[in-house]
Amino acid sequence: MIQTGSFLSVVDNSGAKNVLCIKVLSGYQRRYAKTGDQIIISVKKLRAKRRALSKVKKGEIYHALIVRTVNVSKYLQGDAISFYHNAVVLLNKQSKNIGTRIFGAMPKMFRFTRHLKLLFLAAGIIP
């Protein structure tokens, strides 16, 4: 579960490395977010190699989509998925992704959401 104050890693090539969750969206006084939810983040650390050509800047505020959580996500089919770290993909104000690639695999649950394009950018799909 992700909440305000959680540090997350970024798994796209937007230029950010670590971010901090500022607010969980979609709900009145909602405290926790899970895989597939949108949050508002602040960029805390940039990638070392691409710092000059980065699409984002340190301290900027963006929207983000949670793609991986350490907490177990259970589905109606009986599947359960968990990852080793919490990760997000950066989005702009219109909910379009900033990066052009996603490192690592993504859960299959994004197939049935409005973020289907992210699956095509990912390295793999986990059932």
Read off the CATH number of the domain in which 33 is found: 2.40.150.20
**Which pLDDT value is given to residue 67?**
93
Is 59 within the bounds of a domain?
yes
The arithmetic mean of pLDDT across residues 33-58, rounded, is 88
**Which pLDDT value is given to residue 74?**
82
Is 124 within the bounds of a domain?
no
Is 111 within the bounds of a domain?
no
Is 121 within the bounds of a domain?
no
Is 118 within the bounds of a domain?
no
Look up the pTM and report it: 0.90
Q: Answer for the pair 20, 42: CB distance below 8 angstroms, yes or no.
A: yes
Is 76 within the bounds of a domain?
yes
Is 114 within the bounds of a domain?
no
Q: Which two tokens stand for residue 94?
A: 């219109």
List the domain range (segments joined by +) for residue 38. 7-100
Q: How many domains does the chain have?
A: 1
Per the rule left: phi > 0, alpha: psi between -120 and 50, beta: everything else, 62 is beta
State the first-to-last Cα distance of the chain, in angstroms, to the nearest integer.
Answer: 20
**Which pLDDT value is given to residue 42?**
97
Is 126 within the bounds of a domain?
no
Q: Which two tokens stand for residue 28?
A: 């009145």
